[in-house]
Amino acid sequence: MTEQKQALGRCTALSALGHEYDHYDRDFALDPHPTYKKLREACPVAYTDNYGGFYILSKFDDISTVLHDGATFSSWPADTPPTPGHSRALIPLEVDAPDHRRYRMVIDPLFRPNAVEGIAPMVRQYARELVDNMVAKREFDFMEEFAKPLPAAVFLNQVGLQFSDAERDQLCDWAGTILHTTTHGVEHGNAEAQAEERKRAGKALHNFLNGLLQERLAKPGDDIISLLIGAKLPGGRTLEPREILNFAYVLVLAGLDTVTTALGLSFMHLARHPELQDQIAADPSLIPGAIEELLRYDSIVHMSRTVMQPVTIRGTELQPGDRVVTPLASAHRDEEIYDNPDEIRLDRVVEPSLVFGGGSHRCLGKHLARLEMGIAFEEIFARIPRFSLAPDAVLEAHGGQTRSLENLPFRTWRDDS
């Protein structure tokens, strides 16, 4: 297939990079930016044979165009390659117009700013408890002690559960396996073993959510699943059980993984830049802007789209059925859009921005994510204004539809303190 594409005069990732593009590669996931820089310069619409063949877009304007054109680029399926056994579109993530809007209207009220603010006291209380543990331990894995448990606790609270640490950690484990595959000792490249792990985790999460659904059908509460049970689509139809489970499945994957990784990467970069720590500690009003800039600096989402009708991007002709990936990490380092994009500037106005996606599929949970991250920054900097990475830290990451840090060896002091 690559030879055919080259014969047609189309640029390939292999020719631009010297190797195939692999967004599941662990080294790539830890730092994809050199790869994206090469693609933006030499091959902004690149084809790879990996995972059944797809195109990689690397320029901001092209990625924005695709995300805002749902008629030409379908959101089904949203991952490359699709999750094994994934035969139904996830709601509303992979549903196109007009059904997407109908589904979205059901849960939009749950994630509006006023609704999100209602859970702020719970988020802050739990964040403080986690920070207490961090202060007591002084040296630990930031991902395990803070970045994973905070969003997991928020989700479990929203579905009305009193939970143990073991249940919280199990939820994180399922989400990570479904999205990243390279867990439980399965080496990257072992496609069969990876597929089996993803299937196992997907089935376990489905069974967990189905158990919650059955409980709420018998005894409704004021949690998200109960609200979905009582919700009505335009026209008065209630949601079927499979639709409710589908909704909940998306909420778990989106709500846990993205916030976890955003926290991890943000504090990784801050740990490497003491001067940024000092700026934020001296002036906490910088926190909202700092969060937006850090989300731009290392965006994690790697969405996929399917071409529905012939279209040309930068001279490359795409046909129905072609797959396109839109890595936001590359869009937000585009030199034509941002001044010195490889620098973190806490006073940068991040405009334009695709940090939370674009078009009708713009992230439903953006207000919740900002709330969680804002409280996390406030509570950590209030107690730990100076921090660092362990000097012998060896970081690991997972790739996929989102990138995720596996570990972050963290210290609550700096050697210059």
352-374: average pLDDT: 94
pLDDT at site 185: 61
The pLDDT of residue 7 is: 36
| 323-327 and 302-307 strand pairing | antiparallel
* Mean pLDDT of all residues in 322-331: 98
The pLDDT assigned to 30 comes to 95
pLDDT tens digits, residue range 46-90?
999 999 999 999 999 999 999 999 999 999 999 898 776 777 888
State how beta strands 54-57 and 323-327 pair.
Answer: parallel
At residue 417, the pLDDT reads 57
Burial group, residue 58, by CB count within 10 angstroms (0-12, 13-18, 19+): buried
Q: Is the pLDDT of residue 17 over 80?
A: yes
Rg (C-alpha) for the chain, rounded Å, is 21
**The pLDDT value given to residue 5:** 42
Report the range out of 105-114, 240-249, 300-309 with the highest average pLDDT. Answer: 300-309
Residue 254: the pLDDT is: 80
Answer whether residue 174 shows pLDDT above 90. Answer: no
pLDDT, mean of residues 342-346: 97
Tens digit of each residue's pLDDT (9 = 90 or more) over 405-416? 999 999 999 998
- Is residue 193 pLDDT above 80, yes or no? no
Token pair for residue 142? 């930031």
Mean of all residue pLDDT scores within the chain: 91
Q: Out of 3.30.1490.20, 1.10.630.10, 3.40.50.1980, 3.30.1180.20, which CATH number does the structure's domain 2-411 have?
A: 1.10.630.10
- AA identity, residue 311: V
What pLDDT shows up at residue 189?
65
pLDDT category at 302 given cuts 50, 70, 90 is very high
